[in-house]
Structure 1
Amino acid sequence: MRVRKSLPKKKATLEDVARAAGVGPMTVSRTINGHPYVATETAKRVLAAVRQLGYRPNHAARVLTGQLSKTIGLIVPDLADSFFSIVSHAVQEAAREAGYIAWLAASNGDPSIEEAQIEEMTHHPVDGILLVPANSQSKYLKAVVSGSTPLVTIDRPIDGVLTDSVEVENRAGARIAVEHLIGHGYKKIACVVMNSHLQPVKQRIAGYEECLRHANLSRRKVVLSDQNAQEVLSKLFASPDRPDALFTANNSSTICVIKTLRSLKIKVPRDVALIGFDDVDFYTLLNPPVTTIRQPAVELGRTSTRLLLQKIKSMPSTSSARTVLPVTLMIRESCGCKQEVTT
Protein backbone atom coordinates (compact mmCIF):
# COMPACT_ATOMS: atom_id res chain seq x y z
CA MET A 1 0.00 0.00 0.00
CA ARG A 2 1.42 3.35 -1.07
CA VAL A 3 1.22 6.21 1.37
CA ARG A 4 0.64 9.54 -0.27
CA LYS A 5 2.73 12.32 1.07
CA SER A 6 0.70 15.32 2.08
CA LEU A 7 1.69 18.45 0.24
CA PRO A 8 2.92 21.34 2.37
CA LYS A 9 0.34 23.99 2.95
CA LYS A 10 0.78 26.94 0.64
CA LYS A 11 1.99 30.01 2.47
CA ALA A 12 -0.51 32.86 2.38
CA THR A 13 0.53 35.96 0.46
CA LEU A 14 -0.29 39.61 0.94
CA GLU A 15 -2.61 39.36 -2.09
CA ASP A 16 -4.47 36.46 -0.42
CA VAL A 17 -5.08 38.66 2.62
CA ALA A 18 -6.26 41.52 0.41
CA ARG A 19 -8.82 39.29 -1.35
CA ALA A 20 -10.09 37.84 1.93
CA ALA A 21 -10.51 41.30 3.46
CA GLY A 22 -11.97 42.86 0.32
CA VAL A 23 -9.30 45.57 0.10
CA GLY A 24 -6.28 46.37 -2.03
CA PRO A 25 -2.76 45.06 -1.29
CA MET A 26 -1.62 48.59 -0.39
CA THR A 27 -4.22 48.78 2.36
CA VAL A 28 -3.00 45.45 3.77
CA SER A 29 0.59 46.71 3.72
CA ARG A 30 -0.38 49.94 5.45
CA THR A 31 -2.38 48.10 8.09
CA ILE A 32 0.32 45.62 9.07
CA ASN A 33 2.95 48.39 9.12
CA GLY A 34 0.87 50.53 11.47
CA HIS A 35 -0.02 53.32 9.02
CA PRO A 36 -2.18 55.87 10.84
CA TYR A 37 -4.57 56.56 7.94
CA VAL A 38 -6.39 53.21 7.75
CA ALA A 39 -10.02 53.21 8.93
CA THR A 40 -10.65 51.24 12.12
CA GLU A 41 -13.20 48.85 10.55
CA THR A 42 -10.93 48.25 7.55
CA ALA A 43 -7.98 47.49 9.83
CA LYS A 44 -10.11 45.01 11.79
CA ARG A 45 -11.07 43.14 8.58
CA VAL A 46 -7.44 43.03 7.42
CA LEU A 47 -6.14 41.75 10.76
CA ALA A 48 -8.92 39.16 10.90
CA ALA A 49 -7.89 37.91 7.45
CA VAL A 50 -4.25 37.86 8.54
CA ARG A 51 -5.14 35.64 11.49
CA GLN A 52 -7.46 33.38 9.48
CA LEU A 53 -4.90 32.77 6.73
CA GLY A 54 -1.90 32.56 9.03
CA TYR A 55 -0.13 35.34 7.18
CA ARG A 56 2.92 36.19 9.29
CA PRO A 57 5.53 38.44 7.75
CA ASN A 58 7.77 39.88 10.41
CA HIS A 59 6.15 43.29 10.56
CA ALA A 60 2.66 41.83 10.68
CA ALA A 61 3.59 39.53 13.54
CA ARG A 62 4.89 42.48 15.49
CA VAL A 63 1.72 44.48 14.91
CA LEU A 64 -0.47 41.56 15.96
CA THR A 65 1.46 40.77 19.12
CA GLY A 66 2.18 44.38 19.99
CA GLN A 67 5.83 43.52 20.50
CA LEU A 68 9.07 44.86 19.07
CA SER A 69 11.88 42.68 17.75
CA LYS A 70 14.41 44.45 20.01
CA THR A 71 16.78 44.57 17.03
CA ILE A 72 18.14 47.59 15.17
CA GLY A 73 20.08 47.71 11.92
CA LEU A 74 23.36 49.56 11.37
CA ILE A 75 24.83 50.12 7.89
CA VAL A 76 28.25 51.75 7.50
CA PRO A 77 30.41 52.16 4.38
CA ASP A 78 33.56 50.43 5.61
CA LEU A 79 34.24 48.43 8.77
CA ALA A 80 37.99 48.51 8.08
CA ASP A 81 37.93 52.28 8.59
CA SER A 82 38.82 52.85 12.24
CA PHE A 83 36.31 55.71 12.55
CA PHE A 84 33.38 53.52 11.51
CA SER A 85 34.59 50.56 13.56
CA ILE A 86 34.60 52.76 16.68
CA VAL A 87 31.13 54.10 15.84
CA SER A 88 29.86 50.55 15.24
CA HIS A 89 31.22 49.28 18.55
CA ALA A 90 29.61 52.21 20.39
CA VAL A 91 26.26 51.47 18.71
CA GLN A 92 26.43 47.81 19.69
CA GLU A 93 27.24 48.69 23.30
CA ALA A 94 24.48 51.30 23.57
CA ALA A 95 21.97 48.91 21.98
CA ARG A 96 23.00 46.06 24.30
CA GLU A 97 22.60 48.29 27.36
CA ALA A 98 19.04 49.07 26.23
CA GLY A 99 18.22 45.40 25.67
CA TYR A 100 18.59 45.52 21.88
CA ILE A 101 20.74 43.65 19.37
CA ALA A 102 22.47 45.56 16.53
CA TRP A 103 22.48 43.91 13.10
CA LEU A 104 25.66 45.23 11.46
CA ALA A 105 26.28 45.51 7.71
CA ALA A 106 28.89 47.22 5.52
CA SER A 107 27.90 48.71 2.15
CA ASN A 108 31.47 49.08 0.85
CA GLY A 109 30.42 52.59 -0.15
CA ASP A 110 28.19 51.14 -2.88
CA PRO A 111 24.63 52.58 -3.00
CA SER A 112 23.26 49.45 -4.73
CA ILE A 113 24.59 47.21 -1.94
CA GLU A 114 23.25 49.65 0.64
CA GLU A 115 19.80 49.68 -0.96
CA ALA A 116 19.67 45.87 -0.89
CA GLN A 117 20.75 45.86 2.77
CA ILE A 118 18.04 48.36 3.71
CA GLU A 119 15.45 46.28 1.81
CA GLU A 120 16.57 43.16 3.66
CA MET A 121 16.44 44.88 7.04
CA THR A 122 13.01 46.39 6.51
CA HIS A 123 11.61 42.94 5.64
CA HIS A 124 13.19 41.33 8.66
CA PRO A 125 12.63 42.08 12.34
CA VAL A 126 14.44 45.38 12.82
CA ASP A 127 12.66 48.11 14.73
CA GLY A 128 14.79 50.88 13.21
CA ILE A 129 17.89 51.55 11.12
CA LEU A 130 21.04 53.60 11.72
CA LEU A 131 22.63 54.56 8.41
CA VAL A 132 25.84 56.18 7.20
CA PRO A 133 24.77 56.79 3.58
CA ALA A 134 27.16 55.69 0.84
CA ASN A 135 25.84 58.62 -1.20
CA SER A 136 23.59 61.21 0.45
CA GLN A 137 22.05 62.05 -2.95
CA SER A 138 20.77 58.54 -3.72
CA LYS A 139 17.14 58.87 -4.82
CA TYR A 140 15.89 55.72 -3.10
CA LEU A 141 16.76 57.20 0.32
CA LYS A 142 13.75 59.54 0.13
CA ALA A 143 11.43 56.53 -0.01
CA VAL A 144 13.27 54.95 2.92
CA VAL A 145 12.79 58.09 5.02
CA SER A 146 9.06 58.18 4.28
CA GLY A 147 8.64 54.48 5.08
CA SER A 148 7.41 52.93 8.31
CA THR A 149 10.84 51.90 9.66
CA PRO A 150 12.41 54.63 11.83
CA LEU A 151 15.71 55.90 10.44
CA VAL A 152 18.56 57.97 11.87
CA THR A 153 21.59 58.96 9.79
CA ILE A 154 25.10 59.17 11.24
CA ASP A 155 27.80 61.54 9.97
CA ARG A 156 26.12 62.16 6.60
CA PRO A 157 22.59 63.63 6.38
CA ILE A 158 20.43 62.76 3.37
CA ASP A 159 20.13 65.53 0.78
CA GLY A 160 16.75 67.10 0.15
CA VAL A 161 14.76 65.51 2.99
CA LEU A 162 14.32 66.14 6.69
CA THR A 163 15.33 63.21 8.82
CA ASP A 164 16.89 62.63 12.22
CA SER A 165 20.67 62.88 12.04
CA VAL A 166 23.74 62.99 14.25
CA GLU A 167 26.74 64.87 12.87
CA VAL A 168 29.81 66.78 14.01
CA GLU A 169 31.00 70.36 13.57
CA ASN A 170 32.64 69.72 10.21
CA ARG A 171 32.80 73.32 9.00
CA ALA A 172 33.83 74.73 12.37
CA GLY A 173 36.41 71.97 12.83
CA ALA A 174 38.03 72.81 9.51
CA ARG A 175 38.20 76.48 10.50
CA ILE A 176 39.88 75.55 13.80
CA ALA A 177 42.49 73.52 11.93
CA VAL A 178 43.26 76.20 9.34
CA GLU A 179 43.31 79.00 11.92
CA HIS A 180 45.92 77.00 13.84
CA LEU A 181 48.08 76.77 10.71
CA ILE A 182 47.68 80.50 10.04
CA GLY A 183 48.70 81.13 13.65
CA HIS A 184 52.01 79.42 12.86
CA GLY A 185 52.55 81.95 10.07
CA TYR A 186 51.80 79.66 7.12
CA LYS A 187 50.35 81.50 4.14
CA LYS A 188 50.19 78.88 1.37
CA ILE A 189 47.79 76.34 2.82
CA ALA A 190 46.40 73.69 0.48
CA CYS A 191 43.33 71.55 1.21
CA VAL A 192 43.87 67.93 0.17
CA VAL A 193 40.77 65.76 -0.22
CA MET A 194 39.62 62.31 -1.21
CA ASN A 195 35.94 61.40 -1.63
CA SER A 196 35.10 65.06 -2.15
CA HIS A 197 31.46 64.19 -2.98
CA LEU A 198 30.70 63.27 0.64
CA GLN A 199 28.68 65.81 2.65
CA PRO A 200 31.08 66.03 5.64
CA VAL A 201 34.04 66.58 3.30
CA LYS A 202 32.14 69.31 1.43
CA GLN A 203 31.49 71.07 4.73
CA ARG A 204 35.17 70.84 5.71
CA ILE A 205 36.23 72.29 2.37
CA ALA A 206 33.76 75.14 2.93
CA GLY A 207 35.23 75.81 6.38
CA TYR A 208 38.76 75.83 4.92
CA GLU A 209 37.73 78.31 2.21
CA GLU A 210 35.90 80.58 4.66
CA CYS A 211 38.95 80.78 6.90
CA LEU A 212 41.37 81.65 4.09
CA ARG A 213 38.98 84.22 2.62
CA HIS A 214 38.78 85.89 6.02
CA ALA A 215 42.59 85.93 6.22
CA ASN A 216 42.94 87.23 2.61
CA LEU A 217 44.95 84.15 1.63
CA SER A 218 44.66 82.22 -1.62
CA ARG A 219 42.77 78.92 -1.64
CA ARG A 220 43.98 75.71 -3.27
CA LYS A 221 42.00 72.47 -3.30
CA VAL A 222 43.86 69.31 -4.32
CA VAL A 223 41.80 66.21 -5.11
CA LEU A 224 43.63 62.91 -4.67
CA SER A 225 43.05 59.23 -5.31
CA ASP A 226 45.27 56.31 -4.39
CA GLN A 227 46.14 56.01 -8.07
CA ASN A 228 47.18 59.62 -8.78
CA ALA A 229 48.60 60.71 -5.41
CA GLN A 230 52.25 60.33 -6.40
CA GLU A 231 51.84 62.32 -9.59
CA VAL A 232 49.61 65.06 -8.14
CA LEU A 233 51.69 65.73 -5.02
CA SER A 234 54.96 65.55 -6.98
CA LYS A 235 53.73 68.30 -9.31
CA LEU A 236 52.33 70.29 -6.39
CA PHE A 237 55.66 70.40 -4.55
CA ALA A 238 57.69 70.95 -7.72
CA SER A 239 55.69 74.08 -8.57
CA PRO A 240 57.05 77.59 -7.80
CA ASP A 241 53.97 78.18 -5.61
CA ARG A 242 54.37 75.04 -3.49
CA PRO A 243 52.37 74.97 -0.24
CA ASP A 244 53.95 75.45 3.15
CA ALA A 245 51.08 73.68 4.93
CA LEU A 246 48.42 71.04 4.18
CA PHE A 247 44.95 70.52 5.62
CA THR A 248 43.78 66.97 4.84
CA ALA A 249 40.01 66.71 5.00
CA ASN A 250 39.57 63.07 6.11
CA ASN A 251 41.49 60.02 7.26
CA SER A 252 41.93 58.52 3.82
CA SER A 253 43.55 61.70 2.49
CA THR A 254 45.73 62.09 5.60
CA ILE A 255 47.10 58.56 5.32
CA CYS A 256 47.61 58.86 1.57
CA VAL A 257 49.47 62.18 1.97
CA ILE A 258 51.75 60.86 4.72
CA LYS A 259 52.72 57.80 2.64
CA THR A 260 53.27 59.84 -0.53
CA LEU A 261 55.30 62.60 1.15
CA ARG A 262 57.61 59.97 2.59
CA SER A 263 58.19 58.47 -0.86
CA LEU A 264 58.91 61.96 -2.20
CA LYS A 265 61.40 62.60 0.67
CA ILE A 266 59.37 65.60 1.83
CA LYS A 267 59.69 66.04 5.59
CA VAL A 268 56.82 66.98 7.92
CA PRO A 269 56.81 69.61 9.42
CA ARG A 270 60.25 70.79 8.20
CA ASP A 271 59.21 71.05 4.53
CA VAL A 272 55.45 71.25 4.96
CA ALA A 273 53.13 71.37 7.97
CA LEU A 274 50.16 69.03 8.23
CA ILE A 275 46.82 68.92 10.06
CA GLY A 276 44.26 66.20 9.36
CA PHE A 277 40.54 65.85 10.02
CA ASP A 278 39.76 62.59 11.89
CA ASP A 279 42.00 61.05 14.48
CA VAL A 280 43.17 57.47 14.99
CA ASP A 281 45.35 56.03 17.72
CA PHE A 282 48.37 55.25 15.56
CA TYR A 283 48.80 58.94 14.61
CA THR A 284 50.47 59.40 18.00
CA LEU A 285 53.02 56.70 17.08
CA LEU A 286 54.17 58.29 13.82
CA ASN A 287 57.22 60.50 13.49
CA PRO A 288 56.18 63.23 13.79
CA PRO A 289 52.88 62.58 15.61
CA VAL A 290 50.02 63.97 13.54
CA THR A 291 47.98 67.00 14.60
CA THR A 292 44.30 66.34 13.89
CA ILE A 293 40.72 67.35 14.44
CA ARG A 294 39.24 64.53 16.52
CA GLN A 295 35.62 63.53 16.02
CA PRO A 296 33.73 62.11 19.02
CA ALA A 297 33.20 58.72 17.33
CA VAL A 298 32.01 56.95 20.47
CA GLU A 299 29.50 59.69 21.25
CA LEU A 300 28.30 59.66 17.62
CA GLY A 301 27.45 55.99 17.97
CA ARG A 302 25.84 56.26 21.39
CA THR A 303 23.88 59.45 20.64
CA SER A 304 22.50 58.11 17.35
CA THR A 305 21.45 54.87 19.06
CA ARG A 306 19.63 56.76 21.83
CA LEU A 307 17.88 58.93 19.24
CA LEU A 308 16.77 55.91 17.20
CA LEU A 309 15.42 54.11 20.28
CA GLN A 310 13.46 57.24 21.18
CA LYS A 311 11.93 57.24 17.68
CA ILE A 312 11.05 53.56 17.95
CA LYS A 313 9.27 54.05 21.28
CA SER A 314 7.47 57.29 20.39
CA MET A 315 4.47 57.92 18.18
CA PRO A 316 5.10 58.71 14.47
CA SER A 317 6.13 62.33 13.99
CA THR A 318 6.81 64.61 11.05
CA SER A 319 9.47 66.54 12.98
CA SER A 320 13.17 65.73 12.81
CA ALA A 321 16.10 66.17 15.16
CA ARG A 322 19.54 67.28 13.98
CA THR A 323 22.23 66.74 16.61
CA VAL A 324 25.65 68.33 16.05
CA LEU A 325 28.52 67.26 18.29
CA PRO A 326 31.68 69.31 18.95
CA VAL A 327 35.14 68.34 17.69
CA THR A 328 38.56 68.71 19.35
CA LEU A 329 41.91 69.94 18.03
CA MET A 330 44.61 67.45 19.01
CA ILE A 331 47.87 69.40 18.78
CA ARG A 332 50.94 67.26 18.17
CA GLU A 333 54.06 67.91 16.10
CA SER A 334 53.12 67.67 12.41
CA CYS A 335 51.79 71.24 12.48
CA GLY A 336 55.05 72.64 13.84
CA CYS A 337 54.18 72.49 17.55
CA LYS A 338 56.62 70.76 19.89
CA GLN A 339 54.29 68.86 22.23
CA GLU A 340 50.86 67.32 22.39
CA VAL A 341 48.04 69.60 23.53
CA THR A 342 44.26 69.23 23.47
CA THR A 343 42.15 72.31 22.75
Structure 2
Amino acid sequence: EEEATKNGYSLVTCISNESLEKEKQSLNMLSDVSVDAIIISLTSETQETNEIEHLNDILHYDIPMVMFDRANTDVACDSVVINDFSGAFEAASYLFKTGCKNVGFLSTLSNTSVGNKRLAGYQAAVSKEEGAVPKVLYTKLATLEQDLGTFLDKNEIDALITTDESSAIYAMNTIRTKGLEVPNDVSVIGFTDGTLARNYFPSVTTVKQQAEIMGKKAIEIAIRNINAKEKQAPQQEVIETELVIRNSTRKL
Protein backbone atom coordinates (compact mmCIF):
# COMPACT_ATOMS: atom_id res chain seq x y z
CA GLU A 1 0.00 0.00 0.00
CA GLU A 2 2.85 2.38 0.85
CA GLU A 3 4.42 1.83 -2.56
CA ALA A 4 1.09 2.41 -4.35
CA THR A 5 0.32 5.59 -2.40
CA LYS A 6 3.81 6.93 -3.06
CA ASN A 7 3.09 6.65 -6.77
CA GLY A 8 -0.35 8.28 -6.58
CA TYR A 9 -2.50 5.15 -6.59
CA SER A 10 -5.06 3.80 -4.12
CA LEU A 11 -5.58 0.13 -3.33
CA VAL A 12 -8.89 -1.71 -3.40
CA THR A 13 -8.55 -4.98 -1.48
CA CYS A 14 -10.72 -8.05 -2.13
CA ILE A 15 -10.65 -11.18 0.05
CA SER A 16 -11.43 -14.48 -1.69
CA ASN A 17 -11.18 -16.87 1.29
CA GLU A 18 -9.72 -19.45 -1.13
CA SER A 19 -12.97 -19.47 -3.15
CA LEU A 20 -12.81 -19.58 -6.95
CA GLU A 21 -16.32 -18.11 -7.17
CA LYS A 22 -15.38 -15.15 -4.95
CA GLU A 23 -12.25 -14.65 -7.01
CA LYS A 24 -14.38 -14.46 -10.17
CA GLN A 25 -16.83 -12.04 -8.53
CA SER A 26 -14.02 -9.78 -7.35
CA LEU A 27 -12.39 -9.67 -10.78
CA ASN A 28 -15.73 -8.88 -12.43
CA MET A 29 -16.31 -6.05 -9.98
CA LEU A 30 -12.83 -4.62 -10.47
CA SER A 31 -13.10 -4.74 -14.25
CA ASP A 32 -16.55 -3.08 -14.11
CA VAL A 33 -15.18 -0.09 -12.17
CA SER A 34 -12.25 0.25 -14.59
CA VAL A 35 -9.31 -0.13 -12.24
CA ASP A 36 -5.88 0.75 -13.62
CA ALA A 37 -4.36 -2.66 -12.82
CA ILE A 38 -5.00 -5.84 -10.85
CA ILE A 39 -2.58 -7.63 -8.52
CA ILE A 40 -3.75 -11.10 -7.57
CA SER A 41 -2.71 -14.16 -5.58
CA LEU A 42 -4.71 -17.09 -6.91
CA THR A 43 -7.00 -19.08 -4.64
CA SER A 44 -6.15 -22.69 -3.87
CA GLU A 45 -9.39 -23.69 -5.63
CA THR A 46 -8.29 -21.87 -8.78
CA GLN A 47 -5.01 -23.73 -8.78
CA GLU A 48 -6.57 -27.09 -7.98
CA THR A 49 -9.06 -26.80 -10.86
CA ASN A 50 -6.64 -24.94 -13.17
CA GLU A 51 -9.55 -22.77 -14.27
CA ILE A 52 -8.12 -19.67 -15.93
CA GLU A 53 -10.80 -18.36 -18.30
CA HIS A 54 -11.77 -15.57 -15.88
CA LEU A 55 -8.11 -14.54 -15.66
CA ASN A 56 -7.68 -14.41 -19.42
CA ASP A 57 -10.85 -12.31 -19.62
CA ILE A 58 -9.09 -9.60 -17.61
CA LEU A 59 -6.25 -9.55 -20.12
CA HIS A 60 -8.75 -9.29 -22.98
CA TYR A 61 -10.04 -6.10 -21.33
CA ASP A 62 -6.45 -4.75 -21.55
CA ILE A 63 -6.21 -4.40 -17.77
CA PRO A 64 -2.60 -4.99 -16.63
CA MET A 65 -2.48 -7.94 -14.22
CA VAL A 66 0.33 -9.11 -11.97
CA MET A 67 0.20 -12.38 -10.05
CA PHE A 68 2.09 -12.71 -6.79
CA ASP A 69 2.96 -15.68 -4.58
CA ARG A 70 0.57 -18.12 -6.31
CA ALA A 71 0.84 -17.80 -10.06
CA ASN A 72 -0.19 -19.70 -13.17
CA THR A 73 2.29 -19.62 -16.04
CA ASP A 74 -0.48 -20.53 -18.51
CA VAL A 75 -1.81 -16.98 -18.09
CA ALA A 76 0.17 -14.44 -20.11
CA CYS A 77 0.89 -11.88 -17.39
CA ASP A 78 3.78 -10.87 -15.15
CA SER A 79 4.25 -12.54 -11.78
CA VAL A 80 6.27 -12.18 -8.59
CA VAL A 81 6.99 -15.32 -6.60
CA ILE A 82 9.42 -16.53 -3.98
CA ASN A 83 11.82 -19.40 -4.55
CA ASP A 84 9.64 -21.96 -2.76
CA PHE A 85 11.79 -24.88 -3.88
CA SER A 86 14.97 -23.34 -2.48
CA GLY A 87 13.24 -22.28 0.73
CA ALA A 88 12.06 -25.81 1.53
CA PHE A 89 15.36 -27.33 0.43
CA GLU A 90 17.29 -25.03 2.78
CA ALA A 91 14.87 -25.74 5.65
CA ALA A 92 15.20 -29.53 5.32
CA SER A 93 18.97 -29.32 4.86
CA TYR A 94 19.28 -27.25 8.03
CA LEU A 95 17.29 -29.82 10.01
CA PHE A 96 19.59 -32.61 8.84
CA LYS A 97 22.62 -30.52 9.81
CA THR A 98 21.26 -30.17 13.36
CA GLY A 99 21.24 -33.95 13.68
CA CYS A 100 17.66 -34.75 12.74
CA LYS A 101 17.30 -38.06 10.90
CA ASN A 102 13.57 -38.34 10.18
CA VAL A 103 12.27 -35.10 8.70
CA GLY A 104 8.58 -35.04 7.83
CA PHE A 105 6.63 -32.64 5.62
CA LEU A 106 3.11 -31.41 6.38
CA SER A 107 1.18 -29.66 3.60
CA THR A 108 -2.11 -27.79 3.75
CA LEU A 109 -1.41 -26.47 0.24
CA SER A 110 -1.78 -29.58 -1.91
CA ASN A 111 -2.33 -28.94 -5.63
CA THR A 112 -1.11 -25.34 -5.41
CA SER A 113 2.00 -24.01 -7.12
CA VAL A 114 3.64 -23.01 -3.84
CA GLY A 115 2.76 -26.27 -2.10
CA ASN A 116 4.11 -28.38 -4.95
CA LYS A 117 7.37 -26.43 -5.16
CA ARG A 118 7.92 -26.64 -1.40
CA LEU A 119 7.29 -30.37 -1.49
CA ALA A 120 9.77 -30.76 -4.36
CA GLY A 121 12.41 -28.80 -2.44
CA TYR A 122 11.90 -30.97 0.64
CA GLN A 123 12.10 -34.17 -1.41
CA ALA A 124 15.31 -32.99 -3.09
CA ALA A 125 16.95 -32.38 0.29
CA VAL A 126 15.83 -35.77 1.61
CA SER A 127 17.21 -37.51 -1.48
CA LYS A 128 20.66 -36.10 -0.72
CA GLU A 129 20.65 -37.42 2.86
CA GLU A 130 21.84 -41.01 3.15
CA GLY A 131 19.19 -43.27 4.63
CA ALA A 132 16.52 -40.56 4.76
CA VAL A 133 13.01 -41.32 3.50
CA PRO A 134 10.31 -38.75 2.61
CA LYS A 135 7.39 -38.76 5.04
CA VAL A 136 4.58 -36.54 3.77
CA LEU A 137 1.20 -35.66 5.27
CA TYR A 138 -1.48 -33.83 3.27
CA THR A 139 -4.15 -32.30 5.47
CA LYS A 140 -6.34 -29.25 6.13
CA LEU A 141 -6.28 -26.91 9.10
CA ALA A 142 -9.70 -28.15 10.24
CA THR A 143 -8.41 -31.71 10.66
CA LEU A 144 -4.69 -31.07 11.09
CA GLU A 145 -4.39 -31.98 14.75
CA GLN A 146 -6.23 -35.28 14.33
CA ASP A 147 -4.40 -36.17 11.11
CA LEU A 148 -1.00 -35.25 12.49
CA GLY A 149 -1.67 -37.22 15.67
CA THR A 150 -2.28 -40.33 13.59
CA PHE A 151 0.74 -39.53 11.42
CA LEU A 152 3.01 -39.27 14.48
CA ASP A 153 1.69 -42.58 15.81
CA LYS A 154 2.61 -44.32 12.55
CA ASN A 155 5.89 -42.56 11.73
CA GLU A 156 9.10 -41.91 13.62
CA ILE A 157 9.60 -38.15 13.22
CA ASP A 158 12.20 -35.91 14.84
CA ALA A 159 11.54 -32.85 12.67
CA LEU A 160 8.65 -31.40 10.69
CA ILE A 161 8.38 -28.78 7.95
CA THR A 162 4.96 -27.20 7.45
CA THR A 163 3.87 -25.21 4.41
CA ASP A 164 2.50 -22.23 6.34
CA GLU A 165 2.64 -20.47 9.69
CA SER A 166 -0.72 -21.55 11.12
CA SER A 167 0.10 -25.18 10.39
CA ALA A 168 3.35 -24.85 12.32
CA ILE A 169 1.47 -23.60 15.39
CA TYR A 170 -1.17 -26.34 15.14
CA ALA A 171 1.58 -28.92 14.68
CA MET A 172 3.48 -27.76 17.76
CA ASN A 173 0.30 -28.00 19.84
CA THR A 174 -0.31 -31.54 18.57
CA ILE A 175 3.27 -32.58 19.27
CA ARG A 176 2.84 -31.43 22.87
CA THR A 177 -0.38 -33.43 23.29
CA LYS A 178 1.68 -36.51 22.38
CA GLY A 179 3.94 -35.85 25.36
CA LEU A 180 6.78 -34.64 23.13
CA GLU A 181 8.79 -31.43 23.40
CA VAL A 182 9.64 -28.87 20.73
CA PRO A 183 12.48 -28.83 19.76
CA ASN A 184 14.07 -31.50 21.97
CA ASP A 185 11.97 -34.32 20.52
CA VAL A 186 10.63 -32.74 17.33
CA SER A 187 11.97 -29.64 15.57
CA VAL A 188 9.44 -27.57 13.60
CA ILE A 189 9.91 -25.13 10.71
CA GLY A 190 7.09 -23.14 9.10
CA PHE A 191 6.71 -20.70 6.22
CA THR A 192 5.73 -16.98 6.20
CA ASP A 193 7.38 -15.30 9.25
CA GLY A 194 4.41 -13.38 10.60
CA THR A 195 3.43 -12.26 14.09
CA LEU A 196 2.53 -15.77 15.26
CA ALA A 197 5.95 -17.17 14.46
CA ARG A 198 7.76 -14.37 16.27
CA ASN A 199 5.59 -14.31 19.40
CA TYR A 200 4.64 -17.96 19.95
CA PHE A 201 6.45 -20.06 22.56
CA PRO A 202 8.79 -21.41 21.54
CA SER A 203 9.27 -18.91 18.73
CA VAL A 204 9.06 -20.60 15.33
CA THR A 205 11.96 -21.09 12.95
CA THR A 206 10.56 -19.89 9.64
CA VAL A 207 11.19 -19.63 5.93
CA LYS A 208 10.62 -15.91 5.44
CA GLN A 209 8.55 -15.25 2.33
CA GLN A 210 9.70 -11.65 1.88
CA ALA A 211 6.08 -10.43 1.64
CA GLU A 212 7.03 -6.75 1.75
CA ILE A 213 9.59 -7.11 -1.03
CA MET A 214 7.14 -9.17 -3.08
CA GLY A 215 4.38 -6.59 -2.62
CA LYS A 216 6.59 -3.66 -3.59
CA LYS A 217 7.85 -5.47 -6.66
CA ALA A 218 4.29 -6.35 -7.74
CA ILE A 219 3.28 -2.67 -7.45
CA GLU A 220 6.35 -1.58 -9.41
CA ILE A 221 5.55 -4.00 -12.23
CA ALA A 222 1.87 -3.00 -12.29
CA ILE A 223 2.72 0.72 -12.55
CA ARG A 224 5.32 0.02 -15.22
CA ASN A 225 2.70 -1.84 -17.24
CA ILE A 226 0.13 0.94 -16.75
CA ASN A 227 2.59 3.46 -18.19
CA ALA A 228 3.99 1.23 -20.93
CA LYS A 229 3.28 2.40 -24.47
CA GLU A 230 3.56 -1.15 -25.79
CA LYS A 231 2.85 -4.51 -24.20
CA GLN A 232 5.91 -6.43 -23.09
CA ALA A 233 6.40 -10.19 -22.95
CA PRO A 234 5.37 -11.55 -19.52
CA GLN A 235 8.18 -12.03 -17.02
CA GLN A 236 8.42 -13.77 -13.67
CA GLU A 237 10.40 -12.19 -10.85
CA VAL A 238 11.73 -14.77 -8.36
CA ILE A 239 12.66 -13.54 -4.88
CA GLU A 240 14.90 -15.60 -2.63
CA THR A 241 13.67 -16.66 0.80
CA GLU A 242 15.51 -16.39 4.12
CA LEU A 243 15.63 -19.05 6.83
CA VAL A 244 15.04 -17.29 10.16
CA ILE A 245 16.36 -19.47 12.99
CA ARG A 246 14.42 -19.30 16.25
CA ASN A 247 13.67 -21.66 19.13
CA SER A 248 11.49 -24.37 17.54
CA THR A 249 14.54 -26.11 16.07
CA ARG A 250 17.70 -27.60 17.53
CA LYS A 251 20.86 -25.54 17.30
CA LEU A 252 23.79 -26.40 15.06
Mark yes or no: TM-score above 0.5.
Answer: yes
Q: 2:142 aligns with which of 215, 227, 230?
A: 227
1:184-203 equivalences in 2 (<5 Å): 184-203=98-117
**Moved >4 Å (runs of 4+):** none
1:1-343 equivalences in 2 (<5 Å): 92-134=1-43, 135-136=46-47, 137-140=50-53, 141-216=55-130, 217-239=132-154, 241-337=155-251
Structure 2 distance, partners of 1:305, 1:103, is 13
Instruction: Name the larger-Rg structure.
Output: 1
Q: Which runs of 5+ in 1 are unaligned?
A: 1-91, 339-343
Q: How many angstroms does 1:318 deviate by?
A: 4.8
Count of matched residue pairs: 246
Q: How many angstroms does 1:128 deviate by?
A: 0.7
Contact 1:194–1:252 (Cα < 8 Å) also in 2? no
Query: Identity percentage over the alignment?
Result: 25
Contact 1:224–1:253 (Cα < 8 Å) also in 2? no
Q: How many angstroms does 1:208 deviate by?
A: 0.3
1:269-305, CA deviations, whole angstroms, 9 ceiling, x for partnerless residues?
1221111121113323322221111111111111100
Q: How many angstroms does 1:162 deviate by?
A: 3.1
Amino acid at match of 1:154: F
Gap change, CA 1:282 and 1:253, over 3 Å in 2 = closer
Q: How many angstroms does 1:159 deviate by?
A: 4.3
SS of residue paired to 1:104: coil
Contact 2:80–2:236 (Cα < 8 Å) also in 1? yes
Amino acid at match of 2:36: D
Structure 1 distance, partners of 2:165, 2:196, is 12
Contact 1:167–1:323 (Cα < 8 Å) also in 2? yes
The one of the two structures with greater contact order (alpha-carbon pairs below 8 A, sep at least 6) is 2
Structure 1 distance, partners of 2:34, 2:75, is 25
SS of residue paired to 1:101: coil
TM-score, with structure 1 as normaliser: 0.68
Amino acid at match of 1:138: E
TM-score, with structure 2 as normaliser: 0.91
Contact 1:201–1:250 (Cα < 8 Å) also in 2? no
SS of residue paired to 2:189: strand
Q: How many angstroms does 1:329 deviate by?
A: 0.8
Gap change, CA 1:251 and 1:285, over 3 Å in 2 = closer
Contact 2:175–2:186 (Cα < 8 Å) also in 1? no
